[in-house]
A and B are shown apart, each in its own frame.
Chain A
Amino acid sequence: DAMVIQNPRYQVTQFGKPVTLSCSQTLNHNVMYWYQQKSSQAPKLLFHYYDKDFNNEADTPDNFQSRRPNTSFCFLDIRSPGLGDAAMYLCATSRDLGQGAITQHFGDGTRLSIL
């Protein structure tokens, strides 16, 4: 089945220690998104890639960066995680932007804990 896979499912890191979360997709979709979802809160869009074009949300902290080396993979890098960065990180894909972005396919997330 075509899908969005996130690894690892659970990640524990130390305060200030860089961490990378990964996402892969077999849907061959053009757009990949990263969302942050804190407990009992709405998923919050951090950034997205349309093909190789990177689009950062205005309120995404500089601490968060992303890479998309090819169509299938996208990475979320947190350079110096703080306690406030503990959250579920969701990767999603869509075939296109505009109306094509309505149907987003989500992975099962990576739950990040900061010690």
Chain B
Amino acid sequence: QKEVEQDPGPLSVPEGAIVSLNCTYSNSAFQYFMWYRQYSRKGPELLMYTYSSGNKEDGRFTAQVDKSSKYISLFIRDSQPSDSATYLCAMSEYGNKLVFGAGTILRVKS
């Protein structure tokens, strides 16, 4: 079993839709939870991170962490074609080593 599981997609939605991206994990010691966005032929860039459980909002993006279920989510409101990318979740116990999911491909159609 992989430490971090992520549905590869692709997830295809119309412009303006609410997108839900998810990851599950097995290591209960993870405390930091991150979402990276990776455009085609580019390196990942950090979107947002959360420490421990709870929600965090940044513009159209909301990250949720449910440690009891070992489940994290990223919601994108009013999705735009420019949001089309691969979204990687990443986790860490105390910050030194990030464990990534394989990424979900998102396609937002105009």
Contact = CB atoms under 8 A, between A and B. Distances in A.
Interface residues of A, number: 21
Interface string B57-100: 00000000000000000000000000000001000101111111
Given A42-B101, A42-B103, A102 B41 contact: no
A106 B39 CA distance: 12
21 contacts: A40-B102, A41-B102, A42-B2, A42-B4, A42-B99, A42-B101, A43-B88, A43-B100, A45-B97, A90-B44, A99-B32, A101-B95, A101-B97, A101-B98, A102-B49, A102-B92, A102-B98, A106-B43, A106-B44, A106-B45, A108-B43
Given A4-B43, A106-B44, A100 B88 contact: no
Contacts of A107: 43
Contacts of A100: 95
Interface residues of B, number: 25
